[in-house]
Amino acid sequence: MKPAAFTYHRARSVAAAVGLLNDLGDDAKIIAGGQSLVAMMNFRLARPEHLIDIGRVPGLDHIRRDGAALRIGALVTHHAVETADLGTDFAVVSDAMRWIGHLPIRTRGTVGGSLAHADATAEWCLLAVLLDAEIVAEGSGGRRTIPAGEFFQGVFTTALEPDELIVEVVFPRPAPRAALTEYAERRGDFATVAAAVDLDAPRVVLGGVATVPLRVPSAEAVLMTDGPRIPAGEAAAAAIDPRDEPGVSAHYRRALTRTLVERACEEAAAR
């Protein structure tokens, strides 16, 4: 299929993009890599009347350390993160990129676009919650920082205001013993279930079991005892309330959750 008709705008700066969002209102969408939005437009699941292209806005393509923190610009591609040397402190971030689609998708898709799309199985969304990320957004009211725990609000829904766009994501603390893993029916498909673990926080986050990336306090409590990893998987499986769906029963999703949390714990411990 082809998308419905729209008007294309190219922004040359963040301020220009914010101005267009403010002028055009709810009928406008930001586009950068387009790997999420264009697919939805092709299926007529999204019908924006205006597209604002920020792909050439300068200053949004950085990856840099700022003391203990890691700062990544909104226009950085998944592949750029995949091939960056983030050191052992943030190896989980670069390693997680291998789960994103296929190489052509990773070379076009952007960090900011994935976060703004807010798919509950998306790797960037899980990483943000896992590592207490701060999403930096700019709008007509200026720049503000939104904690990841408050950013994701529902199915493809975020705390962004209509005139705001993401300019940067900040991971404020290192995570040398963290891992993310997932399972999909075919390589590159959206995950049926994803699990991310940080043994030092401790933190357990699941994707594919709720409308947003889901923290599991009961599994985190198990990790705090520094005991066997298997009970953490069992606690996570017991904590979720999935529904039977075509091809994926609730029982199967719980079993995947248990296995993936255990696997993520093993990978994190091995670091």
pLDDT, one tens digit per residue, over 1-34 is 688 999 999 999 999 999 999 999 999 999 999 9
Number of domains in the chain: 3
Domain span holding position 243: 178-270
Name the helix (H) or strand (E) containing 249.
none
Same domain, 131 and 71: yes
Please check the confidence at residue 226 and state whether its pLDDT lies above 70: no
Reference 118, options 82, 92, 153; nearest CA is: 153
Domain closes at, from 171, 190, 206? 171
Q: Are 126 and 213 in contact, with CB atoms under 8 Å apart? A: yes
DSSP assignment, residue 245? B
Residue 189 falls within a domain, yes or no?
yes
Task: State residue 39's pLDDT score.
Answer: 87
| 76 within domain boundaries | yes
**pLDDT tens digits for range 36-64:** 898 898 989 899 999 999 999 999 999 99
Alpha helices in 73-142 (DSSP H): 78-83, 91-96, 103-108, 111-117, 123-130
Q: 2 in a domain, yes or no?
A: no
CATH of residue 164's domain is 3.30.465.10
Mean pLDDT, the chain, whole residue set:
95
**What CATH number does residue 228 fall under?**
3.30.390.50
For residue range 63-112, what is the model confidence (pLDDT) as tens digits? 999 999 999 999 999 999 999 999 999 999 999 999 999 999 999 999 99
pTM of the complete model: 0.95
- Tell me whether residue 58 is in a domain: no
Q: Give the pLDDT of residue 157.
A: 96
Statement to judge: residues 95 and 45 lie in one domain: no
Does 48 share its domain with 80? Answer: no
Same domain, 159 and 215: no
Q: What is the CATH number of the domain that holds 25?
A: 3.30.43.10
Cα–Cα distance between 204 and 223 in angstroms, integer?
Answer: 9
